[in-house]
A and B are shown apart, each in its own frame.
Chain A
Amino acid sequence: MGERVGIEVSIAAAEAVKMANTDVIAAYPITPQTHIVEHLSELVADGELDAEFIPVESEHSAMSVCCGSSAVGARTFTCTSSQGLALMNEIVFIAPSLRLPIVMILANRSMSGPLSIWNDHTDVMSIRDCGWIQIFTENGQEVFDHVMFAFRVAENSSVSLPVIVNLDGFVLTHVIEPIEFWDKETVKQYLPDFKPVNQLHPDNPVTMGAFGLPSIFTEAKKAQDEALINSKSEILKAWKEMGDLVGRYYKPVETYQLDGSETVFLTIGSFGETVSVAVDELRAQGKSVGQVKLRLWRPFPFDEFREAVRGVKRIIVIDRAISYGGPGGPVASEIRSVLYQEENMPVITNFLCGFAGRDVTSDDYISMYEKTEQMAKGKVTQEDYIIYGVRE
């Protein structure tokens, strides 16, 4: 087992990329992702990581360089946030269709405008349907572990898809946490060398990125969808083996104080920890409250999620992004449709909060719970979604 150190999460993430023996890093700086790229460039400059660090002129080129390097069989990493993700958007959609196992850390930050450097999930929710494997992390240890996990799953020959690891900007990127590093032997055991399924090499010429006529496009998309769905078995295997090696067992859907709870909070990302505090307080008051956290966002863990909320009467979905003029926050919309056909479908209330770094305390979650109770009792009208904490 590795050593436990107090370290900034961004630095730990970069160290994990180093320990994964990454070959190419192409990235463009944007707050709050900067510390990760800065540290990686230092590691390369000091010769601690033998990789090509490509200081591209834009995020669009960052993702394009990643496509080129991954296509020749190099282990490839990039990271970005909000505007950077938006600028690379076009290529983000193409990478999985080319089945290129790129790993990207997304330091979640709100999308302009107004311009803001602070954290929410408006960036990642804009690429919900991009075809990458997408996971969320809650603390620095999870970030470190999931860099290894991401490379392993992405590069697995039966998966061969890119992976996004989401971590909340500032809330995680800029905090110092105790993180247990893996030792070299563990990394070696967990993460095999990258052996690409298809590779651009003169000895065995292949054509990648051909153009699809309507007569074949649907089949190509069906194949891509299946690839993402089927990646789940490797995802589960990678978590199981990680647990066996480092003692931390991750699951697609995590639960907290769930047993018999009538009402559950649903969270993704680092806000989950504060919600857990609120759950404890509410339980101390004798309320039947628990929590469900989505770690795996794509492919969506239908079975695990339905199982987790079976028998639950109310779900309070915390969203950190808006769907302007839509039926609710992006997470709530998904949850509603995932549960729509279920018997005894729970009532879903949806609170949109924590935009651009706005603090949300455990008291706030308690008041969301109370509001949900009132809606349930018919004391206030049930609304599709509520933007919480708007100053009047």
Chain B
Amino acid sequence: MEQFNVYASRLITKKEHFTPGHRACQGCAEALAVRMVAKALGKNVIVASATGCMEIISSPLPFTNWKVPWIHVAFENAAAVASGAEAGTKALIRKGKLVDKGTVFLGMGGDGATSDIGLQALSGAFERGHNFLYVCYDNEAYMNTGIQRSSATPFGAATTTSPAGKQIPGQVTWKKNMPEIAVAHNIPYVATACSSYPFDLIQKVKKAASIKGPAYVHILSICPTGWRIPADKAIWIGRRAVETGVFPLYEVENGKYRITVDVPELRPVEDYLKPQGRFRHLTPELIEKIQTRVTKEYNNLKTKTKLET
């Protein structure tokens, strides 16, 4: 496994549609995830991006890192904008004003843009059944504005608005389960991914793009700045998230659950929490509490994979 990255870089296309030279922090695995999604989708795509780190670092007027058509309108409406682009294109094709090229419509946003402020717009676009793909880059906080908590911030994590205080030990709520919310819309495809598992990620994004109707991919996107880890540890921490069961990699195709990166024996959550500054203050009791929850949720997921649909 040590040579994995060398191996990966040979098998994944060298073509870049999200180019180097962007302004992300050193070691940003969110930018890496964006790059992989761009590789997976190729040139025939129209991207609608939410406000957030990935928008700011890639589009300082008059420069752009986007070699594909890209639009940013606001923070909470990427799904609506993508659905408008899809609908407009569909109408123009039907009326003979555009040639049908099978273009993919991608909406993208951070965890804040997706599971908080943009949840309604995303839910609406899912429900209306647009033929589009939405990717959530989940770095578990509002990083662009300075590491404030979101509903995707995990229990116990210290952020600038869920600080580890003398009375309150960081985030007191459990991470909102956004993939499950997507599944509840009965859309044909939902998956989780992480840039520490590039093949799994690329495969899922390709599949999501090829499916008719709405698809959702939720990517755990490690943010060294916000998680308080060294810049060279992002990939490693992403693996730990999966190996501990904190962030399982799975897909739900037409309601059928499948774990794509199986972890026969989960590592203790401590292996994931300990290296991160945002969890530094956690007591053994709180870690135990997190362990119980993670084990339970992982088992729930396993049960779902055995369900007939």
Contacts and interface: CB of A to CB of B under 8 A. Distances in A.
Q: A and B: partners?
A: yes
Interface of A: 23-24, 26, 50-52, 54-58, 60-61, 64-74, 76, 90-91, 94, 98, 193, 200-202, 204-213, 216, 220
Nearest to A217: B61
A209 to B, nearest CB: 4
B113 to A, nearest CB: 12
B88 A68 contact: yes
A203 B279 CA distance: 47
20 contacts: A50-B94, A54-B87, A57-B120, A60-B76, A66-B84, A68-B88, A69-B88, A72-B84, A72-B89, A74-B88, A91-B77, A94-B74, A200-B69, A202-B46, A205-B68, A206-B69, A207-B71, A209-B73, A210-B60, A210-B63
A72 B56 contact: no
A67 to B, nearest CB: 5
Contact of B81 (A52, A55, A57, A65): A65
Contacts of A202: 43-46, 68-69, 101, 103
Given A54-B87, A200-B71, A202-B103, A209 B59 contact: yes
B66 interface: yes
Contact of A211 (B45, B55, B68, B103): B55
Max chain B C-beta neighbours (<10 A), residue from A55, A57, A61: A61
Interface in B107-141: 120-121, 123-125, 127-128
A23 B70 contact: no
A56 B61 CA distance: 31
A52 B90 contact: yes
Contact of A50 (B59, B68, B69, B95): B95
A200 B46 CA distance: 7
Contacts of A76: 84, 88
Contacts of B66: 205, 207
A346 B67 CA distance: 57
A61 B77 contact: yes
Given A57-B127, A61-B124, A91-B77, A208 B88 contact: no
Contacts of B84: 24, 26, 54, 64-72, 76
Contacts of B62: 210, 216
Contacts of A213: 60-61
Q: Which residue among A23, A55, A66, A204 has the maximum number of chain B CB atoms within 10 Å of its CB?
A: A23
Nearest to B43: A202
Nearest to B125: A61
Contacts of A64: 73-74, 77, 80-81, 84, 121
B62, B67, B82, B88 pick with most chain A CB within 10 angstroms = B88
Contacts of A57: 120-121, 123-124, 127
B72 A56 contact: no
B172 interface: no
A341 to B, nearest CB: 36
A210 B64 contact: yes
A21 to B, nearest CB: 8
A65 B61 contact: no
Contacts of A98: 71, 73
A202 B85 CA distance: 12
B124 A58 contact: yes
B83 interface: yes
B98 interface: yes
A312 B73 CA distance: 46
Contacts of B87: 24, 26, 52, 54, 65, 68-69, 74
A207 B48 CA distance: 10
B73 A69 contact: no
A276 B305 CA distance: 74
A58 B120 CA distance: 9
Given A23-B91, A202-B103, A213-B60, A67 B73 contact: yes
Contact of A67 (B60, B81, B92, B124): B81
Counting chain B CB atoms within 10 Å of each CB, the highest count among A60, A206, A207 belongs to: A207
B124 A71 contact: no
A208 B103 contact: no
A210 B124 CA distance: 25
B46 A72 contact: yes
B136 to A, nearest CB: 17
B121 A210 contact: no
Contacts of A201: 46, 69, 98
A328 B184 CA distance: 52
Contacts of B43: 202, 205
B92 A211 contact: no
Given A68-B82, A98-B73, A73 B92 contact: yes
Contacts of B95: 23, 50
Nearest to B105: A68
Residue among B43, B62, B71, B94 with the highest chain A CB neighbour number at 10 A? B71
A68 B81 contact: yes
Contacts of B120: 57-58, 61
